[in-house]
Structure 1
Amino acid sequence: MEKHDVSWMRIDKELKDSFAINFLRAHVFEAQTVYRINYHRIFMIEEGRGNLRIDDCIYPISGNELFLLAKGQLYTFEEGALMTGYELSFGDCFWEKTPSSASNCKAMLFNNAVDNQQLPLNNTDHSELDMLFRALHQEYVKDEYPNKLDAMAAYLKIIMIKIANVNASLARGFDSYENQLYRQYLELVSNQYQSTHEVADFARQLGIPARKLSDLCRRCSGKGAKDIINGQIIAEAKRSLQFSSKPVKEIAYHLNFSTPDQFSHFFKKNTLISPNDYRDRFVNIGM
C-alpha cells in the first residue's frame, strides 16, 4: 500500500509545566501549517479575519469569540488569516492543579469539543474574559516564584467556569442531576470509545438503564447516547485517515472494530464516503 505522507503536519512541542499563554497582536498567518495538538487549546479572538480549520470543518473568524480545541484535534489557520487575541494551551497534568470544583466545566467543554468549537461572546462576556486572560498572561510572563503554578491554575479555573457559563446549554440547569450524569457520560466516552462502542456498557458504569441514558442525552444535547459514541469514533477515524500513514486495517483494529470491512461499513454509513476515498480526497487537496 502506498504510504500516506504526513511530513507537512506539525506536532505540538512539549510545553514547560504543560502550560502556555501568548498574546498575538494583528498576527497574520502567512503559511498554512497543520498542527496536531497534544494540549487543550483556547483561542480568545478579539479581532480577526479569515478562516480557522479544525479537523475537516471550517470556521470563519470575526472577532469577539472563543475557539475550543481538545487534545488530539488538528487545526490550521488558512493562509492570510489574521487575529488579535490570546492563545492558551494546557495539558491534563497542569489541569490537575486546579481545584476539583471546576472539573465538570472542563469535562463538558473539552470531552465533546466539537459541540463547543466556536463560542461567540457578547460585550460583557468578552470584557470579563479579556480581564482574566490578561491577568493570567501577566502572571505567566513573571519570573518564577513559589506557588506560581498554583496561581495560574486558579486563574484557569475561573476562566473555565466563565466559558462554561457562556455556553447557553451549560447555563441551563448546570448543576442538575441529569447534567451531572451527562457530563460523566461524555468523560467515559472520551476515555473508553476505543474499547467499547456499546451504550449498555457506559450505562452500567453510570448505574442507569441504557434507554434512560439515551433519553437523558437527547434532553441535554439533542443527540442520542449512541450518536455521541459514533461521533467520537468518526472524529478519531477522520484524524487518523488524514494525518497518519496507518493502513485502514490498523485504524479499524485501533478503534475496536472486528474487521476492516466492519469499520469501512460504519465509516461510510456515517460519512457517505469510504475510508480510502476520504483519505484520497485530502491527499489530493494537500490537507
Structure 2
Amino acid sequence: MTADALDITQIIKKTTVKNYSDYYAVCWIKNEIKGIEIDQVLYSNVSNSIVFLEPKYDWKIHKNDGFTYSGYILYLSRDILNHPVLSQLHINKVVLFNSGEIPLFKLSPGIEKRTQAILEMIDELLGSHLNHKDDAILSLLNTFFIYCDGQCNIKSVVSNNNTKNHIVFSFKGLVDQHILNHHDVVFYAEQLHISPKYLNECVQEVLGTSSKSIIIEQLLMRSRHALKFSNKTIKEISFELGFSSPDYFSYFFKNHAGIVPSKLRMY
C-alpha cells in the first residue's frame, strides 16, 4: 500500500470541502450537520450516517455550530479499493461506487460506536511509524466495509427518489424500530400497506437478499452485542429480543450463527 493510497480527516471546520479530485470519499456523519452539498444540491439534517461519494462529485459539508466535531472523511484511491483484501467484500460486489446514485447508510444501533473506533484507529495508524501498520489499516478497512455492507444497516440513497429504494429504506427503519416485538415479514408489510410478496421483491432487487434475512440479521447483530457487551443472562436477552423462550432463542442463534449463545460468551 502506497503512502498516498488513503487519507483521513475530521469534520471540524464550519465548511469542509473536497480535498482530492480523484479519490473516493467516505463521509461518516456522527453529529447532525446542517447539510451536505453535492454538485450544488443541499441535503439537510444528515446524522448518524455514512455517505459514499465518487470522485466525479463536487461536495461540501456544512457543520452545525453546536458541535466541535461531526465525524470523519476517509479518502480512498482506486488502487486501495482494488486491493485483494477488500476486493471480495459484498459491498464491492454490489458496485457501491458505480451505481449512478449516492449511497447512504443510516447506522443501526451499536454500529456507530464501532465505526467511530475503527476510523479513530485508522487516523492514529496513518500518523504512526509502527511496523506492519499497512496490514493493520487494511484489516480495519475490511472490518469497516463489512459493517457497511447493507445487511445490518439501513441502506438508501441520498436522493431517495426511487420508489423501491424508498420502500426498502422505510422497511429497514421499521425493523430497527420494532424488532424487539415483531419478527415476521407480514407485520412490516402491513405497516407499509403493501403485500409481503411485493416487500420481498423490493428488498431482493435493492439489496440482493430477502426481507426475512434483514430481520434475522438485525436479531443476530443485537444478540451478539448483548451477549458480548452486557451482563444480562441469556434468559433476559431472549425475552428482551422478543423470543418466546430461552430455548427458542438458543435454537435460533445456533441455527443462524453456528454456535450456541453460551459459547459465544467464552470467546
Q: Please name the residue that 2:26 is paired with.
A: 66
CA separation of 1:215/1:165 partners in 2, compared to 1, >3 Å: closer, same or farther? closer
Amino acid at match of 1:225: S
CA contact (8 A) 2:179 2:241 kept: yes
Could you tell me how far 1:243 is from its partner in structure 2? 1.0
Q: CA RMSD in A?
A: 4.1
Unaligned runs of 5+ in 2: 1-9, 36-41, 71-99, 105-154
Distance in 2 (alpha carbons) for counterparts of 1:176 and 1:166? 12
- Taking every aligned residue pair, what percent have the same amino acid on both sides? 23
Q: Please name the residue that 2:228 is paired with.
A: 242
Structure 1 residue 257 corresponds to structure 2 residue 184: no
Distance in 2 (alpha carbons) for counterparts of 1:45 and 1:274? 47
Q: Please name the residue that 2:55 is paired with.
A: 123
CA contact (8 A) 2:157 2:165 kept: no
CA contact (8 A) 2:101 2:159 kept: no
Distance in 2 (alpha carbons) for counterparts of 1:171 and 1:201? 25
Distance in 1 (alpha carbons) for counterparts of 2:19 and 2:222? 30
In the TM superposition, 1:90-101 aligns within 5 A as 90=31
Amino acid at match of 2:217: G
CA contact (8 A) 1:218 1:225 kept: yes
SS at match of 2:30: strand
Could you tell me how far 1:220 is from its partner in structure 2? 1.2
Could you tell me how far 1:166 is from its partner in structure 2? 3.0
Q: Please name the residue that 2:192 is paired with.
A: 206
TM-score normalised by L of structure 1: 0.48
Structure 1 residue 180 corresponds to structure 2 residue 166: yes
CA contact (8 A) 1:194 1:255 kept: yes
Distance in 2 (alpha carbons) for counterparts of 1:182 and 1:213? 8
Q: Give CA-to-partner distance per residue, 1:66-115, whole Å, 9 cap, x none.
A: 265xxxxxxxxxxxxxxxxxxx422xxx57x87xx958x969x95xxxxx
CA contact (8 A) 1:194 1:256 kept: yes
Could you tell me how far 1:231 is from its partner in structure 2? 0.8
Distance in 1 (alpha carbons) for counterparts of 2:18 and 2:265? 31
Q: Please name the residue that 1:222 is paired with.
A: 208
Could you tell me how far 1:122 is from its partner in structure 2? 3.9
CA contact (8 A) 1:203 1:209 kept: yes
CA contact (8 A) 1:218 1:224 kept: yes
Q: Give CA-to-partner distance per residue, 1:41-80, whole Å, 9 cap, x none.
A: xxx9989xxxxxxxxxxxxxxx854265xxxxxxxxxxxx
CA contact (8 A) 1:46 1:64 kept: no
Could you tell me how far 1:191 is from its partner in structure 2? 0.4
Distance in 1 (alpha carbons) for counterparts of 2:266 and 2:103? 36
Q: Please name the residue that 2:181 is paired with.
A: 195
Amino acid at match of 2:55: N
Q: Please name the residue that 2:30 is paired with.
A: 89
Amino acid at match of 1:89: K
Aligned residues: 167
Distance in 2 (alpha carbons) for counterparts of 1:46 and 1:252? 47
